Amino acid sequence: MKTIQETAETFGVSTRTLRYYEEIGLLTPVRSSGNQRMYSKQDETRLKLIFRGKKYGFSLEEIREMVLLFDEDRTGKKQLERTIEYGEARVQEIEASIQEFQALKEEMEHLLTGFKQKLKEEQ
């Protein structure tokens, strides 16, 4: 078991972040006899899942739903189904962003070509 400070240092986040995750139901640390939050290996596993989900662009609400689904169904089937659903939607969002960035890149390249040509003509 680790204290909130130790856990925050392990994951490179603030203690406020851990308290917030507790407030929204992502974490449920136990309390010591001195009422100090204590984080278990299970809490650390959840934090890894939370940060992985954030890395892939999932909202905290989506992450919360996926984590809670595992608590409801220990087989993990519901969690996997929801993760696939969210993952496929995220892939589509990324594809759309890539297309937007590609169009922006092409437009910028066209503008730069025009600017360079104009500069040559003025010399």
DSSP assignment, residue 36? -
pLDDT 10s digit of each residue in the chain, 123 long? Answer: 999 999 999 999 999 999 999 999 999 999 998 999 999 999 999 999 999 999 999 999 999 988 888 778 778 788 889 889 999 999 999 999 999 999 999 999 999 999 999 999 988
At residue 77, the pLDDT reads 87
User: For 1, what's the count of Cα atoms within 13 Å in the CB-facing half-sphere?
Assistant: 10
Task: Please tell me the distance from the alpha carbon of residue 68 to that of residue 74, in angstroms, as a whole number.
Answer: 10
C-alpha distance from residue 72 to each of 41, 60, 66 (Å): 19, 18, 10
DSSP assignment, residue 35? S
In the chain, DSSP assigns E strands to 2-3, 30-31, 37-39
At residue 88, the pLDDT reads 96
Decide if 100 contacts 92 (C-beta within 8 A).
no
Task: Please tell me the distance from the alpha carbon of residue 62 to that of residue 84, in angstroms, as a whole number.
Answer: 12
At residue 117, the pLDDT reads 95
